[in-house]
Amino acid sequence: MSEKRLLLINGSPRRGGTSYSFARTLKKLTENVGNTAEIIHIIDYYDEKESFEELESKLQQSDIIAVVTPLYVDTLTYPNIWFFERLSDEYKTQLKGKRFFAIAQSGFLDIKLSEPLLNSCKFFAEETGMKWLGGLAHGGGAIINGEKVENLGRKGKKISMAFKLALENILQDKMVPSRSQELLTIKISKIFYPLLAAFMNHMTKRNLRKHNISFEEFTKKVYLD
């Protein structure tokens, strides 16, 4: 199998968050089997720190393109939507014929909530003439909070295995296997869910305080109610 070039797009406004952590793992796994991978950050293009002129050559040189992004209000982040629209309007020629897949991550354990996001990514692939190879959804991203996957113990091993299986198929021009999603899906007993939900509420409030945001409007327990 000839060497493939993979362009990984971090769709999160956070350069060092969970989406980047996942992209970093995908990059390592891709390079471990003799391929080339590069990570770019959508926020750098949105903030005009990077130019689309340089991105054009990256798109042309890539065989496979992937977006790893958080779920924001049931769909893609606004910078992600802006980026996709820009590519669709101006770079269809460079994208046509490429392979494309997506990974969605969110703080919600129910991965069904990521379906609209993944459907949007599929639509983007179809609109730009790329071949859609499927998507994966991971819940509980807030717990990871940007930590390196290899530092997550048993959970990290399952994530790495899920990505490894997905890449094995993708590099052979096959769809993401269902086994990858099974490995990523977190199964929580009803007995432990209230404890986990309380922890998630705590993390939500802590992040609000960190960014000096009043949480008077967030008095409702998001994950419990």
16 vs 224, more confident: 16
Stretch 26-35: mean pLDDT: 97
pLDDT of the residue at 4: 97
Of 224 and 109, the one with more pLDDT:
109
Task: Evaluate whether 68 touches 101 at the Cβ level (below 8 Å).
Answer: no
Separation of alpha carbons 215 and 31, rounded Å: 43
pLDDT higher at 32 or 204: 32
Mutual angle of helices 52-61 and 78-90, in 10-degree steps: 70
pLDDT tier, 222 (very low <50, low <70, confident <90, very high otherwise): very low
Residue 209's pLDDT is 75
The mean pLDDT value for 5-16 works out to: 95
pLDDT over 90, % of the chain: 68
- Inform me whether the pLDDT recorded for 138 exceeds 60: yes
The CATH 3.40.50.360 portion of the chain extends over 5-187
Sequence letter at residue 43: I
If you average pLDDT over residues 137-161, what whole number do you get? 87
Residue 117 pLDDT exceeds 90: yes
SS (H, E, C) 83-150: HHHHHHHHCHHHHCCCEEEEEEEECCCCHHHHHHHHHHHHHHHHHCCCEEEEEEEEECHHHHCCCCHH
Considering 1-10, 58-67, 202-211, the range whose residues carry the highest mean pLDDT is: 58-67
Work out the average pLDDT over 85-99: 97
Who wins on pLDDT, 16 or 192? Answer: 16
Mean pLDDT, residues 159-170 taken together: 97
Q: In whole angstroms, give the CA distance from residue 58 to residue 91.
A: 12
Query: What's the confidence (pLDDT) of residue 24?
Result: 97
**Domain 5-187 CATH assignment equals 3.40.50.1860:** no
What's the mean per-residue pLDDT of the chain? Answer: 88
The pLDDT value given to residue 141 = 72
Residue 218 in this model has a pLDDT that exceeds 80: no
